Chain A
Amino acid sequence: MLHPVQAARTVTQGVVVSVADFRSFYTWRTWSGAWLVRIVCQVAFYSLIGNMVGDSDYVIYVIIGAAMMACVAETLMTSASSTWDRTLGTLPLLVGAPVEPGFFYFGRSLMWPLSATVTTSVAILTLSLFFDLTWSPAQIALLVLLVLITSLSTYCLALVVGALAMIFPGARNVISSLVTILATCFCGAMVPVEFWPPAIQWAAQAVPVTHGLEAIRGIEGGTRAADILMSTSWTVITGALWFALSLFLFRRNFSAARKGTSLLT
């Protein structure tokens, strides 16, 4: 079942479904003209608040934090799209097919983190223009790469949320909102992680975006490359762990579906 060629095929077909869903949501125009603009405005709004309560360093802190939270929120659309096979009636067919469910679901919602990578990068770079924040071409490349990595790692967490939403489809939006709010509060978006009690600080380490934010802020602040690399590694490692958990949970959902039937009707 873990045959790499078959895994790639499974992910690819998931992506085909994801692209079709994405296209039914947005045209190129509505995506760039409405969705992208909306995210940029949202981040701009936070930056204005940052401007009122803090100095220019804090504004930059907030821009990056708010843009990454928009990335988290968009990526968590996975919570909804992981339930759609139930609605479509394709779930029983997937259960009956020789499919590794986690790979399929990895492809199934992949358009969200990819779209989020673009919106978040554009939001950061656009608002940088208004707040005297300059990025060298190398920094821009690194920024986009780190946003992509963080976005994909967050996606792995979102898959775990999706696996839970599959069991409680009615709660899919509540769960994803809750995760977004928790990440916004505790993962260093608006206030440093160190502000919170140790237990929360520890918990925040399990969330990929905590490390991703640190790495991205490192590029902006000119932190040592080794530190950036370290944060990036943690982003990837936590993402990989969430991915492993999602593989397990999707498998578990499929075998639960075989035992009972609530997932199949």
Chain B
Amino acid sequence: MTAIETQRLTRSYTVKGKPDHVALDKIDLSIPRGEVHSLLGPNGAGKTTLCRILSTVLLPTSGTAKVLGHDVATEPQQVKRSLGVVFGGDRGLYNRLTSKQNLDFWASMYGLGRAERRDRVGRLLDRVGLAERADEPVQSFSRGMKQRLHLARGLVSSPAVLLLDEPTVGMDPVSARDFRDLVRELRSDGHTVLMTTHDMPEAADLSDRVSFIDNGALALTENPDVIGEIVSSKERIDVRALPPELRQEVIRVPGVSTVTEIEHGLFRVEAEHKEAVRGVLMLAIEAGVTDIARSRPSLEEVYLHLIGRRGMNVAP
């Protein structure tokens, strides 16, 4: 059974005095159980809207969305019980309650009994590294701590499917690393995770598959490695400190298409086939240049390629 399935999912927002704004446009997305799936896209692409719909916070305008086979519009109660959601940022907590009370609150709302709650809340606080601050009011917490508490909150009902909407924006590097470990654990425990992010390395590192979304439309869903091949079926190597005369020779190697200086002293050689790469490597090594790396386009390049020259604001 698929964990998340949308068909022609569309959502428009009505703003007074303006034409309806289509935030999601006929999205078809299918995520099998146990997959960690990243949704990449710039601000305003529709990522949060999708998370809201899947978490029954918002209704679709048209099309369908199902979580573990349950329709979000007609069977919201079933969806709520099998799904956890973490919206980014540090709002959405009861600031006057302690972190333990916040988790206890949601555990109760999701129907857990007292003993079960005590157990699970304790474990989750431990897991996100807040056990020592369990009895402190949340208002004294840093942004990163609040985000970690949010993560614990999303897990409080042990949901089979977890939605994470930009969970690491503004997180410090240590928290972000712990977060990745947590996602890997969730994956090995068989949870399905749909995560939205701006962060390409994070997505590449964690995901089984990656989708790109822009302007409410799903551009592509792929394996993070395969995406590289799509953009450039060419071979590429990066060579540092390539002397000018050698550069001329490299260009003349059959099959080399371009040599560009991508940053000061670092040259990228694009070639049509492996033979050409071999030729370049030989030349370089003979000339004593050894700072050579084979490179693949990053997700970021793939993303920019797909989405065009549109700016990527990494605003919170």
B95 within 8 A of A: yes
Given contacts A13-B108, A20-B96, A21-B96, contact A95 B57 (CB under 8 A): yes
- The one of B56, B58, B92 that contacts A90, using a Cβ cutoff of 8 Å: B92
Q: Which of A1-18 contact B (CB under 8 A)?
A: 1, 6, 9-10, 12-13, 16-17
Q: How far is the CB of A25 from chain B (nearest CB, A)?
A: 10
**Most B CB atoms within 10 A — which of A17, A88, A97?**
A97
| A13-B57 contact given A90-B92, A92-B92, CB 8 Å threshold | no
B18-71 with Cβ < 8 A to chain A: 52, 55-59
Q: Which residues of A contact B52 (CB under 8 A)?
A: 92, 264
Which residues of chain A are within 8 angstroms of B56 by Cβ–Cβ distance? 95-96, 258
- Chain A's closest residue to B90 (CB) is A89
Whether the Cβ atoms of A96 and B94 lie closer than 8 Å is: no
A12, A17, A23 — most chain B CB neighbours (10 Å): A17
Nearest Cβ distance between residue B140 and chain A, in whole angstroms? Answer: 13
**B77 partner residues in chain A, CB cutoff 8 A:** 1, 98
B13 A98 Cβ-Cβ under 8 A: no
Per DSSP, are chain A's interface residues mostly helix, strand or loop, or mixed? helix
Decide if A99 is an interface residue (CB 8 Å cutoff): yes
Q: Which residues of A contact B85 (CB under 8 A)?
A: 93, 96
Q: Is the pair A97, B96 in contact by a Cβ cutoff of 8 Å?
A: no
B314 an interface residue at 8 Å Cβ cutoff? no
| Given A17-B97, A88-B95, A90-B94: A96 and B57 interface contact (C-beta under 8 Å) | yes
Cα of A88 to Cα of B91 in the assembled complex, Å: 6
Chain A, residues 59-94, CB within 8 Å of chain B (1/0): the string is: 000000000000000000000000000001110111
Instruction: Give every chain A residue within 8 A of B96 (Cβ-Cβ).
Output: 17, 20-21, 23-24
Q: Does A221 lie at the interface of the complex (its beta carbon under 8 Å from any beta carbon of B)?
A: no
Answer whether A9 and B58 are a contact pair too, CB < 8 Å, given A20-B97, A88-B93, A90-B94. Answer: no
A97 touches B92 (CB 8 A): no
The minimal Cβ–Cβ distance linking B62 to chain A, given in whole angstroms, is: 13
The minimal Cβ–Cβ distance linking B72 to chain A, given in whole angstroms, is 9
Interface contact A96-B91, CB-CB below 8 Å: no
Does the CB pair B92–A6 fall under 8 Å? no
In the complex, whether B243 has a CB less than 8 A from a CB of chain A is no
**A 85-118 to B, binary, CB cutoff 8 A, 1 in contact else 0:** 0001110111111110000100000000000000
Would B58 and A97 count as touching, CB distance under 8 A?
no
Judge if A261 is at the interface, Cβ distance under 8 Å.
Answer: yes
Whether the Cβ atoms of B93 and A261 lie closer than 8 Å is no
Residue A137 lies at the interface, judged by CB distance under 8 Å to chain B: no
Query: With A and B bound together, what is the CA distance between A262 and B6 in angstroms?
Result: 25
Q: Choose among B77, B91, B92, B109 the residue with the greatest number of A CB atoms under 10 Å from its CB.
A: B109
Take A20-B94, A89-B91, A258-B58 as given contacts and tell me if A97 and B101 are in contact as well, using a CB distance cutoff of 8 Å.
no
Q: In this assembly, does A260 line the interface, its C-beta being within 8 Å of a C-beta of chain B?
A: yes
Interface assignment of B141: CB less than 8 Å from any CB of chain A? no
Decide yes or no whether A224 CB sits under 8 A from chain B: no
Task: Determine which of B92, B106, B110 lies in contact with A88 in the assembled complex, contact meaning CB atoms within 8 Å.
Answer: B92
Contact B14 A260 (CB under 8 A): yes
A94 to chain B, nearest CB (A): 8
Which residues of chain A are near B179, meaning CB under 8 Å? none
Complex: A88 Cα to B106 Cα, angstroms: 15
A259 beta carbon closer than 8 Å to chain B? yes
Partner of B108 from the list A9, A24, A92, A94 (CB cut-off 8 Å) is A9
Q: Is the CB of B80 within 8 A of A90?
A: no
Q: Which residues of B contact A10 (CB under 8 A)?
A: 108-109
Contact across chains for B13 and A97 when beta carbons are under 8 A apart: no
Contact A92 B95 (CB under 8 A): no
B81 at the interface (CB under 8 A from A): yes
- A16, B97: Cβ atoms under 8 Å? yes
7 residue pairs, one from A and one from B, having the closest CB atoms: A89-B91, A20-B96, A89-B92, A98-B80, A96-B55, A96-B57, A9-B108
What are some 28 contacts across the A-B interface (CB < 8 A)? A10-B108, A13-B104, A13-B109, A16-B105, A17-B94, A17-B105, A20-B97, A24-B96, A89-B91, A89-B92, A89-B93, A90-B92, A90-B93, A92-B52, A93-B92, A93-B153, A94-B109, A95-B57, A96-B55, A97-B80, A97-B106, A98-B80, A98-B81, A104-B109, A257-B57, A258-B58, A261-B58, A264-B57
Instruction: Give the interface of A toward B (CB within 8 A).
Output: 1, 6, 9-10, 12-13, 16-17, 20-21, 23-24, 88-90, 92-99, 104, 257-261, 264
